[in-house]
Copies of this chain bind each other. A is one copy, B any other.
Amino acid sequence: MSLAVQNLSTDDQVLLVDLLLNQQYALELITSEINDIENGLKTVDEQRYKKLICLYDRLRFGML
């Protein structure tokens, strides 16, 4: 988790996620990250990659 996230209160984090979901940008954000990883532009550990795929599926197929 980046330093910036740690400097945000839980309240601020929830507010950002709320905006993200309300403005329907979450799926695009995750898709871009997965593409970067699959194209070798970014390296992440296996666990983070799996979390991204799982979150993508939940958002993509309206399981939230």
- A positions within 8 Å CB-CB of B: 1-5, 7-8, 11-23, 25-26, 29-30, 32-33, 48, 51-52, 55, 64
Contacts and interface: CB of A to CB of B under 8 A. Distances in A.
Identify whether the interface residues of A are mostly helix, strand, loop, or mixed.
Answer: helix
Contact of A12 (B12, B16, B22, B51): B51
Copies in the assembly, this chain: 2
A7 to B, nearest CB: 5
Contacts of A18: 1-2, 5
Contacts of A55: 12, 15-16
Contact of A11 (B25, B26, B51, B64): B51
Given A5-B14, A5-B18, A16-B26, 5 more contacts: A2-B18, A2-B22, A15-B55, A19-B29, A23-B33
